[in-house]
Amino acid sequence: MPSAGEDMDTWIEQDRTDRKSDADRARTVPDTGTLGKAVAVLDVVARAERPMRFRDLREAIGQPPGTLHRQVSNLISEGLLQVNPDHSYGLGLRLLQFAARAWSGNRFREIAEPHLAALHEKTGETVHLGVLSDLEVIYLDKVESRQAVRMHSQIGNASPCYCTGVGKAALSALPPEDAWARIARVDFRRHTEHTLTDAAVLGEELADIRAAGIAFDREEHETGIHCVAAPIRSHDRSFVGGISVTAPSYRIAMAQLERWADDVRAAAAAINADIEIRLGPRA
């Protein structure tokens, strides 16, 4: 919408420019057509902090009411979306059903499971398994002593790749050009005072991580929490991820994390070997 001060022509010109850059993007980013628009709706609902009503979706998506209404209706019919009693939208239960299968059927997770347990046994701290999904890390599994905290809260959760141990480890396992390409698209947000917020700096750290085979998160994502991580990958690097040992910094010093580095590296190496054997090119 043009602000009061601008004249109409300027705004229209602006609009043309936007359309052009959209078209440019369409050439590089694969167009997923109708499906893409549908999952965009799901994404808005998933990422929303406050309850979203129809009007809110309309603003967030920018589709005309008739169109959006049909998209939403279809999503509801398919069980991917549901309407709460207060007319706000929530994600549908069908997604839970799909996710249960996605999780139990995931070979990566299945292979890593015993190694995560062993690593937890050795360190006594929380162990994570995550894989890189575009610019985010999605946590596939978690082993911790105190089961009091419900594990659901973590599995499936996504965190940024540039400020988590698993994320940086995963990036380091990518071909460097690919890693740079992704870093270039990162929207750096400062989560703590230690968060890296510069693509160049992150790129250099990746080189170090690649050389050492170990990544550290020095309270870059959450104050008071640090971790040591190592990369895991499929043979052709179509999947990259990482495992990590996470601990509160008040209880576990960085020096201890560094002492665990070898164990983490060894566990990751064992997982990679298993992956090679069970998912490898000649499997």
Partner DNA sequence: TAAGTTGTTCCATATAGTGGAACGTCGTTT
Partner DNA sequence: AAACGACGTTCCACTATATGGAACAACTTA
Which residues of this chain interact with its own copies, rule CB under 8 A? 30, 32-36, 38-39, 42, 46-47, 71, 73-75, 77-80, 83-86, 90-107, 131, 133-134, 136, 138, 140, 147, 151-153, 155-158, 234-236, 238, 279-281, 283
CB of 132 to its own copies, least distance (A): 9
Q: How many residues does the chain have?
A: 283
**Residue 53 binds which one of its own copies, DNA, none, with CB within 5 to 8 A depending on kind?**
DNA
**Residue 87 binds which one of DNA, its own copies, none, with CB within 5 to 8 A depending on kind?**
DNA
> In the 3-class helix/strand/coil scheme, how is the chain assigned residue by residue?
CCCCCCCHHHHHHHHHHHHHHHHHHHHHCCCCHHHHHHHHHHHHHHHCCCCECHHHHHHHHCCCHHHHHHHHHHHHHCCCEEECCCCCEEECHHHHHHHHHHHHCCHHHHHHHHHHHHHHHHHCCEEEEEEEECCEEEEEEEECCCCCCCHHHCCCCEEECCCCHHHHHHHHHCCHHHHHHHHHHCCCCCCCCCCCCCHHHHHHHHHHHHHHCCEEEECCCCCCEEEEEEEEECCCCCCEEEEEEEEECCCCCHHHHHHHHHHHHHHHHHHHHHHHHHHCCCC
For DNA, give the closer residue by CB, 27 or 55: 55
**Residue 66 binds which one of its own copies, DNA, none, with CB within 5 to 8 A depending on kind?**
DNA
For DNA, give the closer residue by CB, 63 or 192: 63
Binding site for DNA (CB under 7 A): 33-35, 37, 53-55, 58, 63-67, 69-73, 87
CB of 25 to DNA, least distance (A): 14
For its own copies, give the closer residue by CB, 64 or 85: 85
**Residue 199 binds which one of DNA, its own copies, none, with CB within 5 to 8 A depending on kind?**
none
For its own copies, give the closer residue by CB, 52 or 268: 52
For DNA, give the closer residue by CB, 55 or 146: 55
**Residue 107 binds which one of DNA, its own copies, none, with CB within 5 to 8 A depending on kind?**
its own copies
Nearest CA-CA partner of 225 in 261, 205, 257, 250: 250
**Residue 23 binds which one of DNA, its own copies, none, with CB within 5 to 8 A depending on kind?**
none
**Residue 180 binds which one of its own copies, DNA, none, with CB within 5 to 8 A depending on kind?**
none
Distance of alpha carbon 236 from alpha carbon 233, whole angstroms: 8
For its own copies, give the closer residue by CB, 195 or 234: 234
Distance of alpha carbon 2 from alpha carbon 10, whole angstroms: 9
CB of 40 to DNA, least distance (A): 10
For its own copies, give the closer residue by CB, 16 or 70: 70
